[in-house]
Amino acid sequence: VSQTSIRDVAERAGVAVSSVSRVLSGHRDASPAMRRKVMAAVDELGYVPDILAQSMRLRSTKSIGFVVGDISNPLIAEITLGAETTLQHSHYSLLLTNSEDQPELDASHIRLLLQRRVDGLLLSLTSETHPSTLSVLGEVGVPVVLIDRELPGTVEVQASTVLVDHKSGMRDAVSHLLDLGHRRVGLILGSSLRFAREREAGLQSAYAARKLQNASMVLCGPLDRGFAETATAAMLDDADPATAIVCGANQLLPGTLSELRRRKMRVGRDISLVSCDEQPLTELFDPPISVIRKSNFEIGVRSADLLLRRLKEPERPPETVTVPVEFVPTESCAPPGPARNS
Amino acid sequence: VSQTSIRDVAERAGVAVSSVSRVLSGHRDASPAMRRKVMAAVDELGYVPDILAQSMRLRSTKSIGFVVGDISNPLIAEITLGAETTLQHSHYSLLLTNSEDQPELDASHIRLLLQRRVDGLLLSLTSETHPSTLSVLGEVGVPVVLIDRELPGTVEVQASTVLVDHKSGMRDAVSHLLDLGHRRVGLILGSSLRFAREREAGLQSAYAARKLQNASMVLCGPLDRGFAETATAAMLDDADPATAIVCGANQLLPGTLSELRRRKMRVGRDISLVSCDEQPLTELFDPPISVIRKSNFEIGVRSADLLLRRLKEPERPPETVTVPVEFVPTESCAPPGPARNS
DNA sequence: TTGAAAGCGCTAACAC
DNA sequence: GTGTTAGCGCTTTCAA
């Protein structure tokens, strides 16, 4: 497609390049006759404008840079779908970069994207505190949207933000467990990003709201299956074992399930279980697994919307929106059983 | 970052723009003294070259267009990770477009990406037969890699291809079921893309290899949970009910599992079950679900490699590589039980 | 070895 | 209403 330039079209139509440009960009100063001539030449030659050259002139690439930690994480993939779909409708293209969960790559990807002259940035950062990321964010000249991240207050980065209300979801889940009679709730956390902090805070607030002494057990480690196994084992082997376990991230659930299976513990009888983030099959376990869920697609859409808004109105100040979260209880949560007395 | 141009650097260093360009592009005709002067100016100004302008001159954007049906499909997301990671290492950026499983969008995305002057195309097409896609593919001027798609032989599209050996995987799975004594194997298929055709062929070949009359039951419909439920029900309600069910795609498994649960049928006892494509939790069901698996990450890597190779050597003819597939049997496959005689 | 200048394909003054 | 022309930031002949 397109090796023909606007000059070829002009020549073919017997008019000036500027006239071709005017017709194609829908400028009003173009007579019907001119329109016809130009469009005929365009059709005959199969001319398609070169976006690169347009970008160069207009100083706008109509492209957005998206930095993610790991696109193969289903949650991120859904966010990406929401964002790309939304941007597409506004004629923006998405440049995707994976940081492979390495904080150093966040900053270098941002720099690369700026070099590519993206009009805006959508960031699902791997780290909220890495100095080089914070430093480059201080001087990006384009609108930025942070996805579920909060940077340390000291740096004043001009960015819109889409926040997820993890705290409420966790509060609801833990409250439910407390109401069932659990007192020793275990929470497994990987990472120390905002979602982990909020989830821990949600758990605390559930205890606090019921004026119960906080007898929870929070274990934090790498965001992987191996750690989830270890943590689950630790929670069950504790002198005061947890009677309910909350998996603080989708990547952890397999580890917890496998440790429970190894011990032949039945979910919803010997142990109560809640998972953060719905996955395709959680609902099909027997019993179905309680989840704290959110719409990742919506997160992507809202992020893109926030960005588009600032692209249209550059003077507009950054905004923050919060996406709700929902706790879906199932029989995987039951009153603490006799196992506790063993 | 970067509002300074190469002219500013030249001025600052008191040299010509061409000299700056030479130094920065590592041209050998540049004296050490010149190098020093230029680099000093670059550092002082924090100059970063504008990739857009470079692309325009060099007629290469160092970017690859990736068309996918649905990035939120975990399989696609993993392929994307493999591809992006590989391209990144060769300093290519990835432009991602979602076709939302609408065949018409494939072609328009390809056109858009060509307008953006991508150096190459990675395609996970929504349709292998849509005319406008085939037509635009006939005149793309850049290297193309098809990911697990085969276009009708009539169109001679110059493209490298990464194929997945679905057929072998399915043959192994069905052979295993036949060896267990099953004769009536049900296969649920969504879509009619290559993977579905190959899976059906694999099933046929398993029967053929054992010289058994093909008593399989293949149902094809939309690639969603609802259809999987319907198809599962149909297979079980048939006059000669299936004793084993193979889910032909990850999106179908939830439907089959839910229909089985509704009927209180126990996997691995009342019915045997195999799923195509490993998912995070398949292994944690009780019993674990047999899967036909492959490395999606590898598919992405191989696709990118094939593209990079043609980018480096434009004269090189397109190649085809095949990625292996593995059947992982579990107790979800068992001999047909008494249920059959009911 | 370095500099001056042309030009990639396009848009937008500006002049007619 | 239309044409001429000057760049956008860069690379690359070509001359010096």
User: Can you give the pLDDT at residue B2?
Assistant: 59
The 10s digit of each residue's pLDDT in B66-90 is 999 999 999 999 999 999 999 999 9
What element of type H or E holds B94? strand B93-98
User: Can you give the pLDDT at residue B30?
Assistant: 87
Residue A153 has pLDDT above 80, yes or no: no
The 10s digit of each residue's pLDDT in B101-160 is 999 999 999 999 999 999 999 999 999 999 999 999 999 999 999 999 999 976 677 899
Cβ proximity of A114 and A93 under 8 Å:
no
Q: Round the average pLDDT of chain B to a whole number and report it.
A: 95
Tell me which chain B residue has its CA closest to the CA of residue A113. B93
How confident is the model over A122-128, as a mean pLDDT? Answer: 97
Nucleotide lying nearest to A3, CA to C1' measure: C9
Nucleotide lying nearest to B9, CA to C1' measure: D9
The 10s digit of each residue's pLDDT in B277-316 is 999 999 999 999 999 999 999 999 999 999 999 999 999 9
**Candidate from B1, B254, B284 with C-beta closest to A258:** B284
A284 shares contact with chain B (CB less than 8 Å): yes
User: Can you give the pLDDT at residue A240?
Assistant: 97
Q: What is the C-alpha separation between A135 and A157, in angstroms, rounded?
A: 9
Residue A341 has pLDDT above 90, yes or no: no
Residue B191 has pLDDT above 50, yes or no: yes
A264 vs B338, more confident: A264
The C-alpha R_g of chain A, in whole angstroms, comes to 26
Residue A155 has pLDDT above 90, yes or no: no
How confident is the model over A264-292, as a mean pLDDT? Answer: 97
Q: What is the C-alpha separation between A276 and A75, in angstroms, rounded?
A: 11
The pair of structure tokens assigned to B264 is 């209180």
How confident is the model over A320-339, as a mean pLDDT? Answer: 93
Is A96 close to B84, i.e. CB distance below 8 A? yes
Q: Round the average pLDDT of chain A to a whole number and report it.
A: 95
User: Can you give the pLDDT at residue B154?
Assistant: 60
Q: Does the CB of B21 sit below 7 A from strand D? A: yes
What pTM, to 2 d.p., does this model score?
0.96
A297 shares contact with chain B (CB less than 8 Å): yes
3 state SS of B203? helix
Minimum-distance residue to D13 (CA–C1'): B18
SS3 content of chain A, % helix, strand, coil (to 5): 45, 15, 40
Angle CA A323–A329–A331, to nearest 5: 160
Cβ proximity of B297 and A72 under 8 Å:
yes
pLDDT confidence of A338, banded at 50, 70, 90?
Answer: low
